[in-house]
Amino acid sequence: MRNLTLKFLHLLFLAITMSLFHSANSKSMLRLKRGASISVEGNTFITSPDDSFTCGFYAMPGSKAYWFAIWFTNSKDKTVVWTANRDRPVNSQGSRISIQGADGTMVLTDVDGSIIWQTNTRKSDVSAAELLNTGNLVLKNQRGDILWQSFEVPTDTLLPSQILTKDKRLTSSLRKGSFESGYFNLYFGSDNVLWLINDSPETSSLYWPNPDFDIHTNKRTNYNSSRIAFLDDMGMFRSSDKLQANASDKGFGIKRRLTIDHDGNLRIYSLIISTGLWMITWQAISQPCKVHGVCGTNGICVYAPTPKCICTPGYEMNDPSDWIAGCKPTFKEALLSSPVKFLELSQTDYFGSDLYYKPDFTLEACRELCLGDSRCKAFAYKTWGSGHCYVKSDLFNGYMSPDFPGSVYIKLPRRVQVSKPSIWFQHYV
Ligand SMILES: *[C@@H]1O[C@H](CO)[C@@H](O)[C@H](O)[C@H]1NC(C)=O
Ligand SMILES: *[C@@H]1O[C@H](CO)[C@@H](O)[C@H](O)[C@H]1NC(C)=O
């Protein structure tokens, strides 16, 4: 006990001295000039004139890897809005960002001098980098013309006055506590409509606006081909497809951001100045399980009652620490050669992957159709007027929904012992 207390005091002492050390030694500048550089060890940052944004080397808590990033100075956890090298972090020692003399390119190099990231500003007359009050990192020439800007290459966040155009996208982080590119994206589709879409290695699946409805029911239009979207200073998120979403604290003077999160939802966050914490003031998807693929291949998103991922019965997690990796079958045999059985999961469906869709079908006929096709991994059956049969080739985008009027029937080798997770009984007992 005494030992523990001592250890705790020691840690506390370390934390205090380190934070003093940090604030005493960190330097901030308004401009990084051509020929100059910033290193992790140098503890130097570029700040916006109003100090609302900071740019420099950033490490995730508990990590020795660094990213060249821009963050909100006054949010408690220094929320990052942009990273240059999201998929390739650099070492804490010897990495640097510089505006190189010869052509004015901004270059991020790792300890061994290898180029990790650079701007496409070759043969230009860049004189300095500055961070604007909007959170935009810009490269300027002597005359003050902007030659490159971070707003042109967004990562997962759009800031007020930053514009999402035709050839740009926001891409989520792969998991919480990481900057690595994930699978969820926000961009304009070929139909001029702003989409949320899961572009994973196995599949592409649009989940917003609601794929069960047509464009007009979703209050969008595909007539306007200008394809621009932005979050304004009032907290209104608007797009040329007629989307209009308002932050619940609509009004001027609040710091906000629009972020596509690792769970695939798109949210407007507003900063509470007194605490430095973020408040969600709008989100695109109200039922989290409606985000396609949020539980990976063969996973099912359920409400228990808060949203959580489980594997389809008869399947197990690929990586026990990570749902993104999805689930794999616990059996090896093909689903035709061996005797099979079907396990019913009520109010559950896998969006898409329909080998066949048959209206006016009986449950028994639907079962026969799946039984006779080795590609069929499950079938969904819903009663909506008459019976509707959907034969599934893959178990993607699995979700449980209180408003799904039917069940899915999982095809499994007869010898495989499975127990239905209790979530499917709670509705009946
Ligand atoms: C198309 O959208 C842009 C951006 O929202 C808007 O300025 C323009 O007026 C729209 N055009 C038409 C024909 O509605
Ligand atoms: C958002 O706010 C604007 C301006 O006050 C208003 O015209 C619009 O109807 C609001 N949109 C929604 C979806 O609430």
Residues 188, 133 within the same domain: no
246 lines ligand 2 (CB under 6 A): yes
Residue 191 lies in domain: 157-286
Residue 199 confidence (pLDDT): 95
Ligand whose nearest atom lies closest to the CA of 223: 1
CA 146 / ligand 1 centre spacing (Å) = 26
Residue 380 domain-assigned? yes
Residues 212, 142 within the same domain: no
Sheet containing strand 96-99, edge to edge, reads 37-39, 96-99, 106-109, 115-118
- Contact in structure between 400 and 347 (CB atoms under 8 Å): yes
Nearest atom of ligand 1 to the alpha carbon of 239: 5
Give the angle 223-224-229 at the CA atoms, nearest 5°. Answer: 135
Residues 63, 168 within the same domain: no
Sequence-ordered list of residues with C-beta below 8 angstroms from that of 75, at least 6 positions apart, any chain: 271, 276, 277, 278
363 lines ligand 2 (CB under 6 A): no
Residue 2 domain-assigned? no
Residue 18 confidence (pLDDT): 42
Question: What backbone torsions phi and psi does residue 236 show, to the nearest 5 degrees?
Answer: -95, 130
Total structural domains within the chain? 3
CA 239 / ligand 1 centre spacing (Å) = 9
Which of 25, 23, 118 lies closest to 73, judged by CA?
Answer: 23
Residues 243, 194 within the same domain: yes
Q: What is the domain-level CATH number for residue 264?
A: 2.90.10.10
Ligand whose nearest atom lies closest to the CA of 237: 2
Residues 40, 135 within the same domain: yes
Residues 256, 314 within the same domain: no
Residue 426 confidence (pLDDT): 52
Q: Measuring from each residue's beta carbon to the nearest atom of ligand 1, which residues come in under 6 Å?
A: 224, 226, 228, 240
The preferred substitution site among 244, 250, 268, 286 for testing ligand 2, maximizing ligand atoms within 8 Å of CB, is: 244
Give the angle 395-419-202 at the CA atoms, nearest 5°. Answer: 15
Number of neighbours of residue 55 by Cβ within 10 angstroms: 28
Tell me the pairing of strands 378-384 and 266-272. unpaired
Q: Which of 151, 178, 202 is the last residue of a domain?
A: 151
Residue 425 confidence (pLDDT): 65
Low-confidence ranges of the chain (pLDDT < 50): 1-2, 4, 6-9, 11-24, 427-429
Residue 428 domain-assigned? no
Residue 108 domain-assigned? yes
Residues 86, 174 within the same domain: no
Tell me the C-alpha distance between 157 and 320, whole Å. 29
pTM: 0.89
- Contact in structure between 56 and 83 (CB atoms under 8 Å): no
353 lines ligand 2 (CB under 6 A): no
pLDDT tens figures, 108-143: 999 999 999 999 877 778 999 999 999 999 999 999
Bridge partners of residue 266, in order along the sequence:
260
Residues 45, 145 within the same domain: yes
Which tokens belong to 126?
């860049």
Sequence-ordered list of residues with C-beta below 8 angstroms from that of 250, at least 6 positions apart, any chain: 234, 235, 236
Residues 33, 147 within the same domain: yes
pLDDT tens figures, 97-110: 999 867 789 999 99
Residue 205: strand, helix, or coil: strand
Residues 109, 187 within the same domain: no
User: Amino acid letter at 276?
Assistant: G
Residue 4 confidence (pLDDT): 46
Nearest atom of ligand 2 to the alpha carbon of 250: 2
Residue 357 confidence (pLDDT): 95
Residues 221, 146 within the same domain: no
Residue 230 confidence (pLDDT): 98
Residue 411 confidence (pLDDT): 95
Tell me the C-alpha distance between 179 and 162, whole Å. 20
Residue 420 domain-assigned? no
234 lines ligand 2 (CB under 6 A): no
* CA–centroid distance for 266 within its chain: 8
Residue 18 domain-assigned? no
Residue 5 domain-assigned? no
CA 244 / ligand 2 centre spacing (Å) = 7
Number of neighbours of residue 33 by Cβ within 10 angstroms: 12
